[in-house]
Amino acid sequence: NAKSKGSGDFCFYSAQLNERLHERMQLEFRLRRALEREEFFLEYQPILDGKTGRINAVEALLRWNDPEKGRVMPDSFIPLAEDTGVILPLGEWVLRTACAKVRQWQDAGVMPVRMAVNISGKQFTQGDLSKTVEEALQQSGVHPSWLELELTETCLIHNVEETVKKLFRLKGLNVSLAIDDFGTGYSSLQYLKNFPIDHLKIDRGFINKLCDLPDDRAIVDAIIGIAKAMDLHVIAEGVETRQQAEYLAGRGCDEFQGYYFYRPLSEEKLLEVLSSEAAAGAPPGEEASWLE
């Protein structure tokens, strides 16, 4: 009858919920353990100067070397790290490691590049981000102008007054601030005016079909136009073809990042690339000619 069926359903759902909860707790446990066991590592994707084609910066991208599953990409563990709060110690680890690497490379005489680090919304809203950043800079002795923080639009929308205060505190450390994935969140042009932002990274979703979709071209042109007018530096991410690069160079995009140039690289590979670039000597310097 209906009654016993109902309670059976209840048991079924509760078992399913239980299982999901269990899986989540498992993964949280494995993330915390991974942090202790130093199973996380960074890869570095070069960001090139739009005028000269030289490497100006690298973006640090987090990976997890899980002994059971092998290499795990951030999209499959960052959301849970955010939900469970693991992102706070993990994000701190990323900042400290990225700064330590910059220092190590500079000490070794490697061509200096800016280091861009991704910051999760939770780190921005819940953690004491400016303190963490200040400590990472102090401990490594890296000059703040080499560090860039990539914030997403979702970091910035919650409480505008609080956000402005936090951004100015970070800016006071003399690091650069970028908005990552620009155009995908709740893009507000208002905050470009009020927030002390240095760089805009155009989301790769718009770069993707740049050459086929007039609407995406219009969006990219508009973003570059606003950025130029407001004296912001624009970076295009996800550049995969020469055609896209040429289009963006023609529009005066300041920097490029994408598989067309480099994939995210291991530290070893990056150092090879940087040293061969340094050996190549002075950049050509001619506008956009490096793309030919």
**Residue 58 binding target from ligand C2E, Mg ion, none, CB below 5 to 8 Å by type:** none
Instruction: Name the minimum Å distance from CB 153 to ligand C2E.
Output: 12
Q: Is 278 helix (H, G, I), strand (E, B) or coil?
A: helix
- The whole-angstrom separation of Cα 152 and Cα 212 is 27
Side chain identity at residue 197, one-letter code = I
Q: Which is nearer to Mg ion, 97 or 118 (CB)?
A: 118
CA distance 62 to 42: 5
Distance CA 238, CA 184 (A): 14
To ligand C2E, the closest distance from the beta carbon of 210 in angstroms equals 12
Any contact of residue 153 with Mg ion (CB under 5 A)? no
Q: Which of 56, 118, 176, 244 binds ligand C2E (CB under 6 A)?
A: 118
CB 195 within 8 A of CB 162: no
153 binds ligand C2E (CB under 6 A): no
| Dist CA 156 CA 197 (whole Å) | 11
Work out the angle between the directed axes of helices 129-140 and 160-171 (0-180°, nearest 10): 10
For position 180 contacting ligand C2E by CB under 6 A, the verdict is yes
Of the candidate spans 67-75, 171-179, 188-196, 242-250, the one that interacts with ligand C2E by CB under 6 A turns out to be: 67-75
Q: How far apart are CA 122 and CA 117, in angstroms?
A: 15
Q: Does 92 bind Mg ion (CB under 5 A)?
A: no
Residues 215-254 that bind ligand C2E (CB under 6 A): 237-240
Amino acid at 256: F
Tokens of 272: 């090879």
Q: Which stretch binds Mg ion (CB under 5 A): 84-92, 97-105, 181-189, 252-260?
A: 181-189
Q: Give CA 91 to chain center in angstroms.
A: 12
Please list, in sequence order, all residues whose beta carbon lies within 8 angstroms of the beta carbon of residue 187, skipping any fewer than 6 positions away: 153
Question: Choosing among Mg ion, ligand C2E, none, which partner's interface includes residue 62 (Cβ < 5 to 8 Å by kind)?
Answer: ligand C2E
Helix (H, G, I), strand (E, B) or coil at 129: helix
Residue 118 interacting with Mg ion (CB under 5 A): yes
Site for ligand C2E (CB under 6 A): which residue of 35, 39, 52, 74?
A: 74
Q: Identify the residue among 73, 211, 222, 280 touching ligand C2E (CB under 6 A).
A: 73
At its nearest, how many Å lie between Mg ion and the CB of residue 150?
Answer: 4
Interface with ligand C2E by CB under 6 A: which residues? Answer: 45, 61-62, 73-75, 78, 91, 94, 118, 120, 150, 180-181, 204, 237-240, 257-259, 264
